[in-house]
Amino acid sequence: MARLIAVPLISTLLISAMLLVLDRMLRLFDFVATEGGPVSVVWRMLANLLPEYLGLGIPIGLMLGCLLAFRRLATSSELDVLRAVGISYTRLLYVPYMYAVALALLNLAIVGYVQPRARYNYEQLRFELRSGALGASIKVGEFTSFGTQMTLRIESSANEGRDLSGIFVRMTTREGPIAVTAEKGQFFRADDPNTIIFRLTKGTLVHTAQGSPIPRVLTFDTHNLPIPLPKYEQFRKRGDKSLERTLPELAVLGKSPESTPVQRYTSRAAFHFRLAEVVSMFLLPMLAAALGIPPKRSTSALGVFLSIVMIVTYHKVNEYAQAIGSAGGIDPIIALWVPFSIFAGLVFWMYYTVAYVPGGQPIGALEKGFAKIWSAIRKRLPGRRRKTTEIPA
């Protein structure tokens, strides 16, 4: 049973994580390229998004793992043998609940502690990328601005950016504006971490001093141009948003008399939303047993489709309930735990029907309707030939 659950569980987690990462990766590459930042920041941003993806991927993986395991036992008639020797459905749920407890604790650590900090790091990377604190890539043939004090243009680049040629630099200093053109140039580190040295070769420098109508022109073979790095605004502290607060922080802020009503509403709503999502994982093994066992002499996969629909729908209902609770319209306890109670009642009824009602099938009506619809569709498919029996003469 453990092996039957592990294979689809791990496969679902890997596939869902890869699909979500690939979808976000394209947008992040476009965003980083537009902002002119280094490509390496994309991987750091994706790493900080993984906890958010796992928060939803782990329940779906647990659900599909348990469901496909029960379906495998049912379609291969092993479930009938186990039931014949006296093993009940409750006994069969021991191994799925071992997975559920371990994954629920893991998901609690992720959504309660890891995800808030990862979300803050992701927002910090976005801020630093937009402000230029991560460094900007110099686009060849275009004017690149470093803050408000410097503009740079480079005609060509070689040796992975180490050899630059066709250089134009314009800087605004206290002594006046400086314009420089040079054939070649290289960047070097300086002793001062807030300054970088731009070594120029074979060029001309034009300096217009304040109060002087005649600019000073200097022709040089080698000239070191110190460039002060711009100072960027510091990013805000963590905790300005509910997504960036851990579970203990949400609990304290939700009960603190010093917090504003908006902070209390949003903190309590986020706290109960995360707890409801984690506690609902303990219902998934029973739901998997109810939906994974098809009717006799049937191989319908309706239960697999319906399980995903139920999980995603419940998650969306919780998100809507969190939004209502954050706005102060309904108490977060009522907004989030009433849908949980309804979902739990539905799961208990479905499990009781399949486990304790002789011949019970909680989605039997849906299975029959689905079978009739599929049969009608197959009859109308083009190119389908009717089977005929030839009688020998």
Residue 20 CA from chain centroid, whole number: 6
Which portions of the chain are predicted below pLDDT 70?
35-37, 130-139, 146-148, 160-161, 193-194, 228-234, 297-300, 364-376, 378-379, 381-393
Sign of CA pseudo-dihedral 326, 328, 331, 337: negative
pLDDT at 283: 94
State the pLDDT at residue 148: 66
How high is the pLDDT of residue 152?
82
Residues 6+ apart with CB under 8 A from 92: 1, 70, 82, 289
User: For residue 232, what pLDDT is reported?
Assistant: 56
Is the Cβ–Cβ distance between 169 and 179 less than 8 Å? Answer: yes
CA angle 105, 107, 113 (to 5 degrees): 95
Nearest Cα to Cα of residue 69 among 304, 280, 352, 296? 304
pLDDT in tens, 229-272: 656 556 778 877 888 899 999 999 888 888 888 888 999 999 99
d(CA 113, CA 245) in angstroms, rounded, equals: 8
Residue 389 confidence (pLDDT): 47
Domain boundaries, the chain: 1-130+238-373, 138-228
CA–CA separation, 358 and 361 (whole Å):
9
Q: What would the two tokens of residue 6 be?
A: 């592990």
Residue 312: closest CA among 114, 57, 4, 3:
57
What pLDDT is recorded for position 106?
A: 94
pLDDT at 275: 94
Which is nearest to 17 in space by CA: 41, 49, 43?
Answer: 49
**pLDDT at residue 298, as a whole number:** 64
- pTM (predicted TM-score): 0.72
